[in-house]
Structure 1
Amino acid sequence: MCAGLAALEAGAEVLMLEKADAALAGGNTKYTAGAMRFAYDGADDLLPLLKDPDDPRLAKTDFGGYSAARFADDLLGFNGGRPLSEEQRRLVDGSLAAMQWLGGHGVKFEPIYSRQSFEKDGRHVFWGGLTLAAEDEGVGLFEMERAAFEAQGGELRLATPVTGLVTEGGRVVGVETEGGRLDADAVVLACGGFEASEALREDWMGGDWRRAKVRGTPHNTGDGLVMARELGARRHGLYTGCHATPMDLHMADYGGLDLPPGERKNYRKICYFLGVMLNADGQRFVDEGENFRNYTYAQFGRAVLEQPGHVAWQVFDAKTDDLLYAEYRFHDAHFEEAGTLEALCARLDGLDGEAALKTLADYNNSVDDSVPFNPTELDGRGTKGLALPKSNWAQRLETPPFRAYPVTGGITFTYGGLKVDARGGVVHEDGHAIPGLFACGEMVGGVFYEGYPGGSGLTSGAVFGRLAGAGAAG
């Protein structure tokens, strides 16, 4: 949508071909919470983007700031020692401008009070650099962008999958569809990654990923990547990397769009930082309190999938009931509950109960009670003496009833993609841009590597969409 809107602004005629029907049109955007991460200096940068600038809560809200340097540092934290990539610099530098551009086209946002702030001393304190989301989540974001696209004269043709690229003399001059050939001066591929293809996941990422729950659209099966690579497009980025998250073990693939706003993310389970996670061997396998969950859930989803049986259990006691997000009270949330940890572990099918009880006892005995618990910051309330620490928000599991939620790894989108130039043009293996071919969204490689700060994916779509649309129109 951002590519189409940018191309229209530049004077092009734009036809958008959508593989899905009306219900699923919009790709992975529809499955998101509609949150967008971007650099901003303070509330003055946010207020023009708000749908309701007169919300009475704003007077008691501390948004803080999120500098470009901090955004870059957050990305670097997931790079596995790699330096900031060219694509990441473009993402950071273009993030605020992309939000302002969307706002100028009537795409407005709301503060994420329910998931990104805590109340402290009568004020709403935002804590992770992620502050705004679209009303009605990803569905609302798609519909607002679609309205802007169509208002500018863009045409959207549904249920029209592209089956190939048409070239003449090395230049892309159109596409093949099931209904025939369509000619164009330029083609923008904005058709997502390969997360919905079991075969490509297994081939390009490894066997564990065949078992992953697919959180998003069933239509992102790598079509654009395969087409572009047949023309010699350069692979770019980490093909074994992806956005993943712990998900309810019993969720269905591609689920959630039938739920009302506020519930579409409820199969996700990302409050592990308030408790502990155990694998089937009864062992902890991550530092649940390593950082705010925005900075850990993507790699922790991978970690869960790599455990025996591709399963883990998130264990909590009653002290955290009021802090757990709504996804844990969702009518379809699966869990076991008991009055003692012994009884709880006995109810978890496939768990080594004896080992689990020892792990939980060791954890309880290691909690440092001298540091106050504070979920609004990295509070340093950790454990002492454990080989695998919990660095923040450690509290003893001692208040019944106790609950355990079974989770597995869910895949949202893949990180490996294509190399694009500064205009969004797809780069050939030999280094030249393939004439007439552009790409954006999940198809751009080099944006994310071994993790993902929440909300960056939609912003990447906007930033690289603008580049590709303007480039194609030019």
Structure 2
Amino acid sequence: MSADALFWDCIVVGSGHAGSCAALTARDSGCQRVLIVEKSPPEWVGGNGYFTVGAHRTVHDGLHDLLPIVTNVAPEAAANIDLAPYTADEFTRDIMRLGDSRSHPDVVKALVDGSRDAVQWLAERVNVPFILAFHRQAYLVNGRQAFWGGLALSVEDGGKGLIAADRAALDAAGVETWFDTAAVELVADGDTVVGLQVSRDGESITLRSAAVVLACGGFEASRDLRSQYLGPDWGRAKVRGTPYNTGDGLALAQRVGARLTGDFAGCHSTCWDANAPDDRGDRVLSNQFTKSGYPLGLMLNAKGERFVDEGEDFRNYTYAKFGRAIISQPGGFAFQVWDSTTIPWLRKEEYADDVVEKIWGDTVEELAAKLVEKGLQDKDAFVQTITGYNEAAMAFQAEQPKAKWDPAVKDGVSTQSSHLHLALPKSNWALAVEKPPFLAVKVTCGITFTFGGLAIDPETAGVVSNATGKPIPGLFCTGELVGGLFYRNYPGGSGLTGGTVFGRKAGREAAQLSGAAR
């Protein structure tokens, strides 16, 4: 290996979206030689970002603000779209309320304040093909596309399209990637990180650099670390994305004195197809294993009991915690159930015949009998639960005949009337499950990423030293490794935006260090 190959202006560990943003920004900001180190083979490029739908939550001023950066809205179609502005205060409140106000306010502020500029940069510099997420974040109500839940932006072809855009931009900028290369040790000179030791082709190589950016994800793909931090039930969770996020970044940073912070007992998880692979995502189906239609119906566990309020809030505010609820149920699975009234509202990409196993019944009793083969332990309780739910839902409708079911708003159509109410309510979208045929799918918990991570300076994305409370010179962090941002739950679409915001900060700081070194 030539001597030149050992010296880089910036080294990024991890080829996902966050790392790509850091590497491209470093190159654009003046770094002449930027290297991405990725321990996976090339066919696993993109980290967890590849397995997303490409959703980016951002502050915006409404439809007119986002139309210039999306590719799927014809001028004549815009008049039939309802998309309210999403303010910085709303974004901040959503993160804080879902995280029990435990999120670090300065880190949250950096994410929120940088969100709109971040998606504009992705659209203009990276050529990310943004679309309005009609298929996930809007319902067609009275002839109008009504967006809900504060989230509107996705990417054409989802995470696949996002990572393809990242890779094309990196290649055009001359950023090099070493695949099948594991980061082994950060190289330090006193308190300053000055390089990275890697293992490549069986050889240990020491690389020198003015800046190292850790962007290699959390520990969600490690059964041992999941069990250690999240609890023993989490050993059976299915990995939604890359199998290579096994906590390497945390271990590397700790050995140079980095401070850990955040919710190490929390994670982003969701309702996931029970038949999906156990320890990795599927590169073809990717996010199609998500099963997020529960607000339209019911979820029952193996004992035939409901265990969450399916209508508590919009799906993108509850799915990250309902996965946790499923993993704690008997057997770690549940059944989602609908009748023919709401089945047509299910998203095709998640519930198509060639994507998920469907169990049908002409009666609830027939459905319950079939589910016994899938793990249902008490079919009588299953029937009784749905019967009781139906009675409560119909009692509400009788008492509130003007209440209108509308999946695009929190409609208040519930199970709670003055004379009949459930101990565990369904607070919105509570239609009776009574019109045959009936459909069920079996779901489990799919883990996406862990919330505990590294403490950072929110202005620079510099990793904070546990000893000094100040950033460790030469070391930065972005993506799922950032700690203190999410606790217990999170608003959907925030992760990719955060990776962009803090990746750009890290890239700019890396360029300043490399310029000073030269």
Q: Which runs of 5+ in 1 are unaligned?
A: none
Whole-Å Cα distance in 2 between the matches of residues 111 and 85 of structure 1?
29
CA RMSD of aligned residues (A): 1.5
Report the counterpart of residue 151 of structure 1 in structure 2. 172
Instruction: State the TM-score, normalizing by the size of structure 2.
Output: 0.88
Whether 1:311 and 2:333 are equivalent positions in the alignment is yes
Pick one of 141, 148, 151 that aligns with 1:120: 141
Matched, 1:284 2:279: no
**Superposition pairs of residues 86-125 of structure 1, within 5 angstroms:** 86-105=106-125, 106-125=127-146
- The one-letter amino acid paired with 1:345 is A
Superposed, 1:143-292 pairs within 5 Å as 143-179=164-200, 180-253=205-278, 254-259=280-285, 264-292=286-314
Contact 1:19 1:25 (8 Å CA) reproduced: no
CA distance in 2, matches of 1:441, 1:424: 10
Q: Report the alpha carbon displacement of residue 239 of structure 1 after superposing the two structures with TM.
A: 0.4
Residue matched to 2:405: 373
1:186 offset after TM fit, Å? 1.0
How far 1:432 sits from its partner (Å)?
Answer: 2.2
Question: Which residue of the partner structure matches residue 406 of structure 1?
Answer: 442
Alpha-carbon distance in 2 for matches of 1:80, 1:356 = 33
Residue 351 of structure 2 is matched in structure 1 by 328
Match 1:453 to one of 479, 491, 505: 491
Q: Return the offset for 1:165.
A: 1.2
Aligned-residue offset at 1:52: 5.1
Post-superposition shift, 1:330?
3.9
* Residues 188, 256 of structure 2: 8 Å contact kept: no
Report percent identity of matched pairs: 48
The answer (yes or no) to whether the contact 2:103–2:486 under 8 Å persists in 1 is no
Give the number of equivalent residue pairs.
Answer: 470
Residues 348-367 of structure 1 mapped to structure 2, 5 A cutoff: 348-349=371-372, 350-351=375-376, 352-367=378-393
314-323 or 79-88, which deviates more: 79-88
Tell me if structure 1 keeps the 8 A contact 2:104–2:484: no
User: 1:444: which partner in 2?
Assistant: 482
Give 1:62 shift.
2.1
Say which SS state the counterpart of residue 40 (structure 1) adopts: coil
- Look up the match of 2:8: none
**By how many angstroms is 1:83 displaced?**
6.0
Aligned equivalent of 1:9: 28
Partners of 1:330 and 1:460 in 2: CA distance:
34
Q: Distance in 2 between matches of 1:150 and 1:83?
A: 36
Q: Deviation string for 1:328-348 (max 9, x for gaps)?
A: 224131232111111211222
Give the superposition deviation at 1:386: 0.6
Aligned partner of 1:134 in structure 2 is 155
Residue segments in structure 2 that go unaligned for 5+ positions in a row: 1-19, 513-518
- Aligned partner (choices 80, 104, 108) of residue 60 of structure 1: 80
Comparing 312-321 with 247-256, which one deviates more in the overlay? 247-256
Write the deviation string for residues 178-203 of structure 1: whole angstroms up to 9, x where unpaired: 13111111100110111001111111
Pairing partner for 1:468 from 490, 497, 506? 506
Distance 1:223 1:199 in 2: 13
The offset of 1:26, in angstroms, is: 0.8
Q: Give the deviation of 1:291 after TM superposition.
A: 0.8
- 8 Å CA contact 1:284–1:359 kept in 2: the answer is yes
How many Å apart are 1:53 and its aligned residue?
6.0
Structure 1 letter corresponding to 2:213: V
Kept in 1, the 8 Å contact 2:88–2:113? The answer is: yes
Q: Give, as a single letter, the amino acid of the residue that structure 2 aligns with 1:337.
A: W
Match of 2:95 in 1: 75
1:425 to 2:487 alignment: no
- CA displacement at 1:55 relative to structure 2: 5.7
8 Å contact from structure 1 (residues 266, 330) kept in 2: no
Structure 1, residues 434-460: CA drift from partner, whole Å, max 9, x if none?
121111100000111111111111001
Q: Which amino acid letter does the alignment assign opposite residue 152 of structure 1? A: A
Q: Which amino acid aligns with 1:49?
A: I
- Partners of 2:268 and 2:480 lie apart in 1 by 11
Task: Supply the distance in 2 between the matched residues of 1:81 and 1:10 (Cα, whole angstroms).
Answer: 35
Name the SS of the counterpart of 2:149 in structure 1. coil
Cα distance change of structure 1 residues 305 and 172 upon mapping to structure 2, 3 Å threshold: same
TM-score, length-normalised on structure 1?
A: 0.96
CA distance in 2, matches of 1:248, 1:91: 31
- The aligned amino acid for 1:5 is L
How many Å apart are 1:256 and its aligned residue?
A: 2.7
Distance 1:330 1:45 in 2: 37
Please give the alpha-carbon distance, in whole angstroms, between the structure 1 residues aligned to 2:413 and 2:264: 36
Offset from partner CA, 1:400-451 (integer Å, 9 cap, x none): 1111211111100010000011211111112122121111100000111111
